[in-house]
C-alpha cells in the first residue's frame, strides 16, 4: 500500500449518506427532540452542524457559539453565523468569559501562567454549557471531534470531545475538509487552518509540529498496521517523527475510554458489561 | 418436486432485543410475500432479536422448538409458506451454550435448523465471545427443493458451500448481518459461491443501524451462472421476490461442470496445510 493522499479520498456521497442516517437514527432511537452543538466557526464544528441539519432539518439543530474574551475571533464568529444562515439552524451566542472568570477566582490553586490547565477549563466550561442546554431542551449533544485529533489525543478530556454522538469521529481532518466542501461549506471555512483556541494565537499544526496532510497519512498507516519504519520510509520523514506520533496515539488511550477501574465484580462497567447502545 | 419456486427476501431493520416487534414485522412481510406469490420468505441473520445483542444474548436466546419458533410456525402455517429466519438458540442441555442459528419452517411446522459454523471474532465482531460454533451442515429435502442454509461470514469459506453442493443442495440460502464496510466482499462472494457450485443462492441482509454499524441491505437471488434475478434496495427496508427455476440447473452444470471436475486429492492437501498453518 502506498501512502499517498489518494488513500484518504472518500466516496463522498456514500459517506454523507451514512453520517446523515447515523444522526437521524440515533436521535430517533433516543426519542430526543434534536441536537445541541458547539459551533466554533472551525471546519469540524461547521461541517457537523451542517450535516446535522441535512439529516434532521434545521429546526432540530441548535448551535451555540461560546466565545470568551481572551481568544475571541471575529472571523470565527462570522463563519459560524454564515453556516447557520446557509443551513438554516438557530445559532445562539453565549459569552462564557464571566463564568470562566468566576472559576479562576474561585480556584485556590489558579495559576495564570499555566495556559494548558486554563485552556482546558475553557473547553470544559463549553461542555457544561452545552449539556445545560441539552438538559433544558431534552436534546443530545452532538460532538465534532475528528479522527486525527481523537487518535493522537489532541483534545481536552471531558471537554470538547464530550458528547452523546460524534458523527465525524471516523474521518481524518483532511477527509473532513473533503466532506465540508462536498456539502457546501464555503472553502474559506473548509480550508482554514485548525485552531483549538485555548489561548491567543493557538494554532493546531504549529503546536503539533506537523501538517495535517502528513499527520493523516501517518495515522492512516498506523490504522492499517504498518510499521513506523515503513511509514517513515514512504513519507520520507525521520523515523523519530513517526515514532513520536505513534507514542502520542498509544499514550492517550485513557482519554478515549471510560475510566479504568480494578476488576472486582462479576461484570464491570467499561470492561465486560456489554450492553447494546440504544435498545428501544 | 416443483420445477420453479418464488423466493421472497425480506430485508428488515430489526429492533434490538424486541422479539415481539420483530415477529410482528416478520408476520407482515410473510403476508405480503404470500400475496406476491412467494413459496419461501427469507429473513436476515438474527432477525428475531437484531444482531448486536451483546450481553442481552443470554436472556434473549431460546430453545428450538421454543416460544418464538411456535409463534413463527403459526405464521408459516396460516400463510402456507416456507420461512427462514435467524435467532439466538440456546442448547437444551446447557443454558449458556448459545448458537447463532438459521431456522427453516414449512407450512407443516419446523423442518430444521443450521448453527453458524464460522463465527467472526475480529474488527467489530465478537461472535466467539457469545456463541458456540455449529458442527452440522444439513441439506433439507423440502417441497420447494433441496435447501442448504448458511449464515453471513460462512460465505468467506467456499468449502462450506461446496459441502452443501456435494449433498445435493439446489438452493443455498445465506442470511446475513453485513455492515456497509463489507459490501464489496458480499457482492462478489454471493455470485462466486453460486457460480462455482452451480446452485441458486438467496442472500438476505439486515438494514438499519446497531451501535454505529450500518447494515447495507442489497439482498439478492443469484442464478448458478451469476445473474442477479432480483436485488433489494441498499440501506432501506424492502421486500422483493424472484423466481428460481431449478430446470436451469442441469443445463448450467453441463456448461460449467465443476462437480464433475472436482479433484479429491486437493482436499487432503487442504486439510494437511490447514492443520499446519
Q: What's the pLDDT tens digit per position in A167-195?
A: 999 999 999 999 999 999 999 999 999 88
What pLDDT does residue A195 have? Answer: 85
> Mean pLDDT over residues A259-270, rounded?
93
Is the pLDDT at A279 greater than 80, yes or no? no
This complex has an ipTM of: 0.89
> Which residue is listed with cell 449539556?
A131
- Number of structural domains (chain A) is 1
DSSP B8: E
Cα(B111)–Cα(A3) distance, integer angstroms: 53
Nearest to B56 by CA among A278, A120, A93, A100: A278
Chain A: residues touching B (Cβ < 8 Å): 14, 17-18, 21-22, 25-26, 267, 273-280
Is the pLDDT at A280 greater than 70, yes or no? no
Instruction: Please indicate whether residue B19 is annotated as part of the active site.
Output: no
What pLDDT does residue A201 have? Answer: 84
How open is the CA angle A84-A165-A160, to the nearest 5 degrees? Answer: 70
Q: Which residues of chain B does A18 touch, with a Cβ-Cβ cutoff of 8 Å?
A: 180, 214
Structural domain boundaries of chain B?
4-275
Is the pLDDT at B139 greater than 80, yes or no? yes
Residue ranges making up the domain that contains A185: 5-203
Please tell me which residue of chain B has the smallest CA distance to A165.
Answer: B212
What's the predicted TM-score (pTM) here? Answer: 0.93
What pLDDT does residue A140 have? Answer: 98
CA–chain centroid gap for A194, Å, is 11
What pLDDT does residue A278 have? Answer: 65
Are B55 and A279 in contact (CB < 8 Å)? no
Is the pLDDT at B263 greater than 60, yes or no? yes
Which residues touch B143 (CB under 8 Å, ≥6 apart)?
B1, B2, B82, B106
Q: Is B228 on the interface with A (CB under 8 A)?
A: no
Joined grid coordinates for residue B232: 433489494
Cα(B45)–Cα(B178) distance, integer angstroms: 9
> Mean pLDDT over residues A8-35, rounded?
95
B19, B62, B79, B152: the active-site residue = B152
Q: Is B123 on the interface with A (CB under 8 A)?
A: no
Alpha carbon of B73 to those of A260, A267, B40, B68, B196: distances in Å? Answer: 47, 37, 13, 8, 34
Is the pLDDT at B54 greater than 70, yes or no? yes
Structure confidence at residue A206 as a pLDDT band (50, 70, 90): confident
DSSP B167: T
Structure confidence at residue A1 as a pLDDT band (50, 70, 90): confident
- Averaged pLDDT score across all residues of chain B: 96
How open is the CA angle A129-A132-A133, to the nearest 5 degrees? Answer: 90
Are A22 and B212 in contact (CB < 8 Å)? yes
> Which residue is listed with cell 470538547?
A160
Measured between CB atoms, which of A14, A273, A276 is closest to B210?
A276
Q: CA of A100 to nearest chain B CA: how many angstroms apart?
A: 35
Structure confidence at residue B1 as a pLDDT band (50, 70, 90): low
Instruction: Please indicate whether residue B126 is annotated as part of the active site.
Output: no
Structure confidence at residue A166 as a pLDDT band (50, 70, 90): very high
CATH architecture of B4-275: 4-Layer Sandwich (3.60)
Could you tell me if residue A217 is inside a domain? no
Lowest mean pLDDT, pick from A230-244, A261-275, B61-75, B191-205: A261-275
Could you tell me if residue A235 is inside a domain? no
β-strand partners of A90: A62
CATH (domain of A125): 3.40.50.620
- Interstrand relation of B238-245 and B4-11 (parallel, antiparallel or unpaired): antiparallel
Q: Is B56 on the interface with A (CB under 8 A)?
A: yes
Amino acid at each position: 500500500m502506498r501512502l499517498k493522499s489518494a488513500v484518504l479520498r472518500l466516496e463522498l456521497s456514500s459517506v454523507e449518506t451514512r453520517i446523515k442516517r447515523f444522526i437521524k437514527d440515533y436521535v430517533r432511537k433516543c426519542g430526543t427532540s434534536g441536537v445541541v452543538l458547539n459551533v466554533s466557526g472551525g471546519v469540524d464544528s461547521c461541517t457537523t452542524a451542517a450535516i446535522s441539519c441535512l439529516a434532521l432539518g434545521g429546526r432540530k439543530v441548535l448551535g451555540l457559539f461560546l466565545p470568551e474574551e481572551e481568544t475571541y475571533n471575529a472571523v470565527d464568529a462570522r463563519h459560524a453565523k454564515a453556516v447557520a444562515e446557509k443551513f438554516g439552524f438557530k445559532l445562539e451566542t453565549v459569552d462564557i468569559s464571566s463564568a470562566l472568570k468566576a472559576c479562576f477566582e474561585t480556584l485556590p490553586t489558579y495559576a495564570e501562567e499555566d495556559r494548558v490547565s486554563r485552556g482546558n477549563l475553557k473547553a470544559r466550561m463549553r461542555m457544561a454549557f452545552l449539556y445545560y442546554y441539552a438538559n433544558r431542551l431534552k436534546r443530545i449533544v452532538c460532538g465534532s471531534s475528528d479522527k486525527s485529533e481523537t487518535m493522537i489525543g489532541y483534545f481536552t478530556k471531558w471537554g470538547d470531545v464530550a458528547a452523546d454522538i460524534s458523527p465525524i469521529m471516523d474521518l481524518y481532518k483532511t477527509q473532513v475538509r473533503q466532506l465540508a466542501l462536498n456539502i457546501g461549506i464555503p472553502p474559506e471555512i473548509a480550508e482554514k487552518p485548525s485552531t483549538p483556541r485555548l489561548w491567543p494565537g493557538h494554532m493546531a499544526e504549529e503546536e503539533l509540529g506537523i501538517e495535517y496532510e502528513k499527520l493523516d497519512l501517518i495515522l492512516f498507516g498506523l490504522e492499517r498496521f504498518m510499521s513506523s519504519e515503513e511509514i517513515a520510509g514512504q513519507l520520507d520523514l525521520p523515523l523519530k517523527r513517526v515514532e513520536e506520533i505513534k507514542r502520542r496515539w498509544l499514550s492517550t488511550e485513557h482519554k478515549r475510554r471510560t475510566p479504568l477501574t480494578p476488576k472486582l465484580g462479576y461484570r464491570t462497567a467499561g470492561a465486560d458489561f456489554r450492553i447494546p447502545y440504544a435498545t428501544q | 418436486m416443483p420445477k420453479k419456486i418464488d423466493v421472497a427476501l425480506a430485508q428488515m431493520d430489526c429492533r434490538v432485543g424486541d422479539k415481539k416487534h420483530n415477529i410482528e414485522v416478520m408476520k407482515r412481510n410473510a403476508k405480503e410475500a404470500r400475496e406476491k406469490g412467494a413459496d419461501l420468505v427469507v429473513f436476515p441473520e438474527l432477525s428475531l432479536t437484531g444482531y448486536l445483542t451483546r450481553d442481552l444474548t443470554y436472556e434473549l436466546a431460546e430453545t428450538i422448538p421454543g416460544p418464538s419458533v411456535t409463534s413463527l410456525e403459526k405464521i408459516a402455517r396460516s400463510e402456507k409458506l416456507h420461512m427462514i429466519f435467524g435467532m439466538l438458540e440456546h442448547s437444551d442441555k446447557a443454558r449458556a451454550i448459545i448458537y447463532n442459528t438459521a431456522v427453516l419452517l414449512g407450512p407443516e411446522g419446523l423442518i430444521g435448523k443450521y448453527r453458524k459454523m464460522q463465527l467472526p471474532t475480529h474488527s467489530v465482531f465478537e461472535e466467539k465471545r457469545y456463541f458456540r460454533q455449529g458442527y452440522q451442515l444439513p441439506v433439507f429435502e423440502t417441497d420447494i427443493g433441496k435447501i442448504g442454509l448458511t449464515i453471513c461470514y460462512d460465505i468467506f469459506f467456499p468449502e462450506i458451500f461446496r459441502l452443501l453442493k456435494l449433498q445435493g443442495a439446489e438452493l443455498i440460502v445465506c442470511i446475513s448481518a453485513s455492515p456497509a464496510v463489507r459490501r464489496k466482499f458480499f457482492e462478489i462472494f454471493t455470485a462466486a459461491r453460486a457460480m462455482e457450485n452451480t446452485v441458486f443462492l438467496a442472500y438476505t441482509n439486515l438494514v438499519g443501524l446497531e451501535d454505529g454499524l450500518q447494515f447495507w441491505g442489497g439482498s439478492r437471488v443469484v442464478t448458478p451462472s451469476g445473474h442477479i434475478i432480483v436485488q433489494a434496495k441498499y440501506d432501506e427496508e424492502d421486500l422483493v421476490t424472484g423466481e428460481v427455476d431449478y430446470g436451469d440447473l442441469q443445463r448450467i452444470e453441463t456448461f460449467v461442470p465443476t462437480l464433475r471436475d472436482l479433484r479429491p486429492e486437493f482436499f487432503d492437501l487442504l486439510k494437511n496445510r490447514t492443520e499446519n498453518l
